[in-house]
Amino acid sequence: MTVNEEQTTISVALEDLIREVEELHAGGYRLVQIGCTDIGGAYEINYSFDKDYQFRNLRLTVGPDIEVPSISGIYWGAFVYENETHDLFGIPVTGINIDFKGTFIKSGEKYPFSVTRRGGDQCRNA
């Protein structure tokens, strides 16, 4: 059997993120990953979901100092991606179920993937 994979990407506003994620959760979607991209002064965060190989992607664009709410209350396993997003990019994520406070990924340099926050030494989730 061959299944055709479809990929859709939808932009979401920060205030709509939790509601959109809850809808996908209620629709039986699995969390595939959360990934961040530095787009020059701002960040694009992709929340990727899948159901029967149909790929849905919620795209959130935030400025450098914006706090992002955790979706770990909806998808328990999201903590790995959210801690990673914080530790590599320095994006503050609030309300993570298991918050490592910047120690999940032990890099020699704080927030190594962040251009705007490179060299900072404060945990953004503290």
Partner 1 sequence: MPKRIVVPFGPQHPVLPEPIHLDLVLEDEKVVDVVPSIGYIHRGLEQLVQKREFTEYVYVAERICGICSFMHAVGYCQGIEHIMGLEVPDRARYLRTIWSECSRLHSHLLWLGLFADGMGFENLFMRSWQLRESVLDVLEDTTGGRVIQGTCKVGGVRRDIGQEKLDEMHHTLDPFEEQCRDLGDIFLNDDTVKYRLKGLGVISKDEAYALGATGPTTRGSGVAMDHRETGYAAYGDIGFKPVVETAGDCYARCAVRVKEVYASIDQIRRAIDQIPEGPLDVKVKGTPDGEYFSRVEQPRGEVVHYLRGDGTKHLARARIRTPTLANIPMLVKMLPGVQLADVPVVVLSIDPCISCTER
- Measure the CA–CA gap between 116 and 2, rounded to whole angstroms: 44
Q: Does 107 engage in binding with partner 1 (CB under 8 A)?
A: yes
State residue 77 phi and psi, 5-degree precision. -75, 0
Q: Which of 16, 26, 123, 3 is nearest to 75 (CA)?
A: 26
Among the residue ranges 14-22, 63-71, 103-111, 116-124, the one whose residues contact partner 1 (CB under 8 A) = 103-111
Q: Which 3-32 residues touch partner 1, going by CB under 8 A?
A: 3-5, 7, 30-32
State residue 52 phi and psi, 5-degree precision. 50, 45
Q: Does 1 engage in binding with partner 1 (CB under 8 A)?
A: yes
Name the site residues for partner 1 (rule: CB under 8 A): 1-5, 7, 30-33, 35-38, 46, 48, 53, 55, 57, 75-81, 84, 87, 98, 100, 103-107, 112-113
